[in-house]
Amino acid sequence: MQTRLHVRHLLVLIAVSILALSLPCSAAGKSNEKIGDYGYIDWLNQTVYAKGLGVAPKNKRNSDQAEALAYRAAVIVAQRNILEVIKGVHIDSTTIVENKIVTDESVVSTIQGLVRFSNVDYSKKLAKDTVEVGVSMPLWGKLADILITRLEEPRQPSKATATGANLENRLDDLEWRIRTLEKQISGLKKISAEKERLLYLFQELAKAWQTYAADKPFFINAAYASESELSALRNQMIDQEKRMAAISALLTDLTRRLNTLEAHQEMSPRGPATGKPPETPPYTGLVIDARQIGFKPCLKPKIFCQGEQVYPGEYLDLQKAITGGYVRYYNSKAQAQQSQRAGSLPYVISAKGTFEGDRSLLVEPQSYTILKAIAEIPDNILADCRVVIVF
């Protein structure tokens, strides 16, 4: 009797497990965000899923034809449902895809065309004339190219700004103008860094030439040439020395002016007082522990410190964000630290809380200092989107 009870209990557990696996949102719990009644977003795998039901028409010839027609109808319904799931994807803490495409029919048409190539994960016959189909599509790649590039591209100010007819549009245009200026300022910073690097190289070239000029008499005297040839060579060397001296003086002046501009820039308020950026280890990735603070994933989570956005920034490689996503999500901190995205030496921090909703993160000033220093390094881990969030 007791053995039968154990067997029955085991069978119940197996049945419950099978049922749980068949439900789309139960496998990963909080990692799956349900959208509507027939689809969800799997943030761990950065994939959207949906299912659809198809019923065969009554004028079917045989059972095989009925199942084929039901399957085709189920695929169409599943593709329509996955489009609705995509519309519910949060781009950031305040914007969902549907809000961005509501007035842009061309983007809707592009996504609809892309949805036709979604993956069919499974199909199963539920009843005599009914078939269920499950489809999926990654959030990165072609879909990300549409969601990121097409929906975030620069635009021109609307006519409402000039007429003052709509306060909401005026505020939206002001925000666009501010972002445009911020991009220009960031570009100037990049140009300044490149100029400094070029100045350094030219200075090294000038030093090398001066060293060569100091050894000139040895080379000239050792040469096997006539007096006229030696005289022409001496005149050529003297002319080159004058040119290099002029270049050296110009480089010195440019360096002085650049240092003056940078000193003035350091005196201007630019957020939290960080002092001189410390020497940072060669970190291979960033891992942020965002558990227990109510954080929810999104396509482009932003990282803030005292109101200033640290990530993503103008340094970001947009193509890498499209092909691999702005971040990767994990439920386990240990797995996040050992992930390929984090690398062998990740910089691990804990989020202080959320910011501007529940899909952006707030970090401590100490972490801000390190992240700002990392952002100044060419081809840094933030530019490469080597960011992992544990939630």
User: Per-residue pLDDT tens for 6-20?
Assistant: 445 444 444 434 434
Maximum mean pLDDT: which of 143-157, 158-172, 346-360 = 346-360
Pick the closest to residue 317 from 269, 233, 386 (CA basis): 386
307 versus 386: which is more confidently predicted?
386
Mean pLDDT over 45-55 rounds to 94
Joined tokens for residue 387: 């960011």
Pick the closest to residue 43 from 299, 215, 294 (CA basis): 299
The per-residue pLDDT for 161 is 41
Q: Structure pTM? A: 0.62
Residue 123 has pLDDT above 90, yes or no: yes
**What is d(CA 155, CA 337) in angstroms, rounded to the nearest whole number?**
39
66 versus 203: which is more confidently predicted?
66
Q: What is the mean pLDDT of the chain?
A: 77
Joined tokens for residue 354: 């959320």
233 pLDDT band, cuts 50/70/90, is confident
Q: What is the phi/psi pair of residue 120, to 5°?
A: -90, 110
Q: What is the 3-state secondary structure (H, E, C) of the chain?
A: CHHHHHHHHHHHHHHHHHHHHHCCCCCCHHHEEEECCCEEEECCCCEEEEEEEEECCCCCCCHHHHHHHHHHHHHHHHHHHHHHHHHCCECCCCCEHHHHHCCCHHHHHHHHHHHCCCEEEEEEECCCCEEEEEEEEECCCHHHHHHHHHHHCCCCCCHHHHHCCCHHHHHHHHHHHHHHHHHHHHHHHHHHHHHHHHHHHHHHHHHHHHHHHHCHHHHHHHCCCCHHHHHHHHHHHHHHHHHHHHHHHHHHHHHHHHHHHHHHHHHCCCCCCCCCCCCCCCCCEEEEECCCCCCCCCCCCCEEECCEEEECCCCCCHHHHHHHCCCEEECCHHHHHCCCCCCCCEEEEECCEECCCCCCEECCHHHHHHHHHHHCCCCCCCCCCCEEEEC
Residue 327 has pLDDT above 50, yes or no: yes
Mean pLDDT over 321-326 rounds to 91
Residues 6+ apart with CB under 8 A from 370: 278, 280, 347
Other C-beta atoms within 10 Å of 294: how many? 11
191 versus 307: which is more confidently predicted?
307
The per-residue pLDDT for 159 is 42
Residue 79 has pLDDT above 90, yes or no: yes
Residue 166 has pLDDT above 60, yes or no: no
The per-residue pLDDT for 304 is 95
Pick the closest to residue 41 from 88, 101, 95 (CA basis): 88
**What is d(CA 156, CA 242) in angstroms, rounded to the nearest whole number?**
51
Residue 167 has pLDDT above 70, yes or no: no
Joined tokens for residue 221: 């005297």
Mean pLDDT over 311-319 rounds to 91
The per-residue pLDDT for 141 is 85
The per-residue pLDDT for 11 is 45
The per-residue pLDDT for 26 is 41
pLDDT tens digits for range 268-303: 544 444 444 456 678 999 999 999 999 999 999 999
The per-residue pLDDT for 60 is 67
The per-residue pLDDT for 155 is 43
